[in-house]
Structure 1
C-alpha cells in the first residue's frame, strides 16, 4: 500500500532529506579534497625525490640514497634495487601500492628505456585518513539524526495551531449554535485565514440549518389545521347515510391518507428536533403494540389489491421504543411493499430483535440496493406511486435511533427488509 505521509511527517521528511543532501555533499567534498590533496602533494614530493635520485644516478660517485621510509627500484637493477613484479605493469605517474600490512605511494618514471620507481610508506597517513573518514561519517549521521529531531520539533511547532484549530472545529460540531468565532483566537496568518474561512462556512451552514429547522417546524405546524379540517369533513360525510359503499370507501381512503399525513408531519417535526438535539420526550410503545395497530390498518388495503397479508406476531421483545418513529418506519416499509407488489403476498414477521417486512414484488437489483436508501432515488424497475422518499426517511430514523435496517432479496423474487431495534 502506498505510503501517504501527513503534514507533520512531510515536514520531518523535508528536514531529513535536505540535511542528508547538504551533509552528504560536504562529506563527499571532504573525501574528494583529501584524495586530491593526497595525490597532488605526495606526487610532487615523491616526484622531486625521484628526480634527485635520477640526477645522482648519472654521476660517478652516487652519494644520494632514498629516505628511510622510501624504496627505490630500477628495471634490470642490481640486488635490492631490482624492479619487483607488482610494479612492472604500472604506468608512469602516481599510484597507490598495497603490500599488507603496509601501504605505499609510488611514482613511476621511464627514462631512456629504463623504468624507475620510488615508493614511500603511507601506513600512518592511511590510518589518519581512516580516522578522518570515520569522523566525517559520524558527523554525517549525527547531522541526519539532529535534522530528524529538529524536524519533529519544528513539525510540532508548526502543527500546533492547526491541531488547536481542528480541536476547536470538532467542539463546534457539538455546539453548532453556540460556538464563538474562531478567527479572533488566532493570529492573522495562514491559520488565521483558515479559521476565518471556517467561520464563514459555518455561518452559512448555521443559517441553512436554521432555515431548515424553521421550515420543518412551520410546515408541520401549519399542516395540522387543514388536516384537521379534512379529517372532520370526512367524519361528517361518513356519517351521512345517503352515501353508498363506493363513496364510503373513498372517504375511508381520504381519512386514512389524512391520518398518515398528520403522522408524517409529526414525524418530520420530531426528526428535525431530534437531529438538533431538541427532541422532547416521546411516547414509548412496544413493537407488538405498533405492529398490531398497523397490521389492522394496512390489511384491508393490501387484501383489496388481491394480495395475501401474512402477519406473524410470534416472539417479540418486551422493550419500549420511540412510538412515532417506530410507526413511521414500519408504515413506510408496508407501504413500499404494497406499492411494488402486484401479485403474491406481503408479510410482516416480528422477532425478539426486531421485525421483517417481505414481499413478492419486482424486487430491487443488487446494484440499486444501496441507492434506494438515498432521497429521491428509485430502482430502474420501480413503479407504483412512491417518490423515493420513504426508504430515505426509514434510514434517517434508524440511524438516529441506533437501529439497523438491512435489505436483501426475497426468494424467488421480491424484497426483504430486516430492522433490528434497540430499546429507547
Structure 2
C-alpha cells in the first residue's frame, strides 16, 4: 500500500486512530455496563415491589401503590387493576414494554394461575441514559482532539531532526569537498544512522564529481588540441591553389566535421559541469543568428539530396540564448531531418520564443515517439552508423535550459519537432534580476 501522506501526518493519524479505538471501546463499555447494571437494579426493585404488593392482606391495600410512577394490574382485576390486553401475553420475568408512546419496565409473576404485572415508568431511566450518552460523546470527541494535538506536538518533535537533516542534504554546499560530515550533529538513533548513510552516499557522490571534473578537464585539453590541429591543417590545405575540386571538397568536409566535433565537445563539457557561470563561459546569440549559421552549414547537404529547404525567420525575436546549446539543439534536429528524409522538404520556422523543424521523411510511429528521446534509441528506419544519441542530447540540453521539446506527426508522413524557449528565457531573466 502506497501512503501519500507525510510522515508527520501519519503520526497524527495513528494517534487519532488509536485514541478513537481506545476511547470508543471505553465509551461502549461504560454505556453497556451502566445499562446492564441499571436494568438489573430496576429488575430487582420491581421484583421486590411486586412481592410486597402480593403479600398485602386485601385488594384495598393495592390502591396504595409504593410509588406514583408505578402501575399494577392482575388477571380478573377490576377498574384500574384490570389487566390490559397488550400485557396478557407477557411471560413471567422482567420486560420492557411500550404503551401510548411511553416506555415502561414490567415485572410479571403468575401465582395460582393468576397473572400479576407491575409497570414502572422509565422516563427517568431514559433521561439518565441520554445524559450519560452525551457525556460519553463529549469525552470521546475531546479525547480525539487531545490525541490529534498530542500527535501534532510529537510529530513536530520527532520530525524536527529529520527536517533539519533533509535541509542539510539538499543544500548544494554538501557537494563541496570541504563540507563537514552530518552524523556528528545527531544522536546515535535512527536519524543518526540516516545521517551516517547520507555521509557515505555524499562522499561517493563527491568522489564521482571530482572524477568528472578531472575528466572534463582532460577532455578539454586532450580533444581541443588535436581538433585545433585539424582545423589549422584544413585552413592551410584550402589555401593551396593546386588542390583540385574533389580534394578541396574533401578538405572542406573534414573542416566542417572538425568544427562540429569541436562544438559537440564544447556542448558535452558545458553539460557535464555541475557549476558553471554561463555569462562568462557561454557565448550568447539570437535565434536568427544561430539559424543562419546552421543553414549555411546544412543547406548544401540538404539540397544535394534533392530536398527542398524552406526557411522562415520573420517572427524571430531578439532575445539572447546560450549559443552553444541552441546550436546543438537546432543542429541535431536539422541533422535528424536530413538523415531520415529521402524526398520532399525540410522546413525551419522561427517563432518569437522558439522554432520548428518539419520534414516529409519516414516519420516516427506514435508508440515510439517518447522513447526517441532516450539514449541509444533509433527509429525503425535505421540508417548510417549513428548511435541514437542526437535526440537524447537535445532532450538533455532542453532539460538543462528549461526548454520544452515536443514531437508530433506530419500529414501524410514526416515529423514536426517544436522547441519552446520561453520558459528558459523567463528563468534567465529572473536570475539576471536577482543578480542585479
Query: What is the TM-score with the length of structure 2 in the denominator?
Result: 0.85
Equivalent runs, 1:67-146 vs 2, <5 Å: 67-69=66-68, 70-99=70-99, 104-146=104-146
Are 2:276 and 1:277 equivalent residues in the alignment?
yes
Are 2:351 and 1:362 equivalent residues in the alignment?
no
* SS of aligned partner of 1:140: helix
Residue 304 of structure 2 is matched in structure 1 by 304
Q: Distance in 2 between matches of 1:259 and 1:158?
A: 58
Q: Distance in 2 between matches of 1:289 and 1:71?
A: 107
* SS of aligned partner of 1:413: coil
Cα distance per residue 1:333-378 (max 9 Å; x no partner): 2222222122223333334333332222212222222222222222
For residue 63 of structure 1, report the CA deviation from its aligned partner.
9.3
Query: For the Cα contact (< 8 Å) 2:53–2:62, is it kept in 1?
Result: no
Query: For the Cα contact (< 8 Å) 2:168–2:174, is it kept in 1?
Result: no
The 1:151/1:354 distance shift into structure 2, 3 A limit, reads closer
For residue 101 of structure 1, report the CA deviation from its aligned partner.
8.1
Q: Which moved more, 1:331-340 or 1:407-416?
A: 407-416
Q: How many residues were matched structurally?
A: 420
Equivalent runs, 1:160-179 vs 2, <5 Å: 160-172=160-172, 176-177=175-176, 179=179
The 1:23/1:314 distance shift into structure 2, 3 A limit, reads closer
The 1:394/1:77 distance shift into structure 2, 3 A limit, reads same
Q: Which moved more, 1:250-259 or 1:36-45?
A: 36-45
Q: Distance in 2 between matches of 1:14 and 1:288?
A: 60
Runs (5+) with no aligned partner, structure 2: 429-436
Equivalent runs, 1:239-388 vs 2, <5 Å: 239-240=239-240, 243-273=243-273, 275-279=274-278, 280-388=280-388
* SS of aligned partner of 1:250: helix
Residue 221 of structure 1 is matched in structure 2 by 221
* SS of aligned partner of 1:116: strand
Q: Distance in 1 between matches of 2:122 and 2:330?
A: 95
Residue 420 of structure 2 is matched in structure 1 by 420
The 1:356/1:63 distance shift into structure 2, 3 A limit, reads closer
* SS of aligned partner of 2:73: strand
Residue 186 of structure 2 is matched in structure 1 by 186
Query: For the Cα contact (< 8 Å) 2:356–2:416, is it kept in 1?
Result: yes
For residue 65 of structure 1, report the CA deviation from its aligned partner.
5.9
Supply the RMSD in Å over aligned alpha carbons: 3.0
Q: Distance in 2 between matches of 1:126 and 1:327?
A: 86
For residue 34 of structure 1, report the CA deviation from its aligned partner.
2.0
Q: Distance in 2 between matches of 1:207 and 1:182?
A: 17
Query: What is the TM-score with the length of structure 1 in the denominator?
Result: 0.87
Q: Distance in 2 between matches of 1:175 and 1:72?
A: 89
Query: For the Cα contact (< 8 Å) 2:348–2:357, is it kept in 1?
Result: yes
Residue 199 of structure 1 is matched in structure 2 by 199
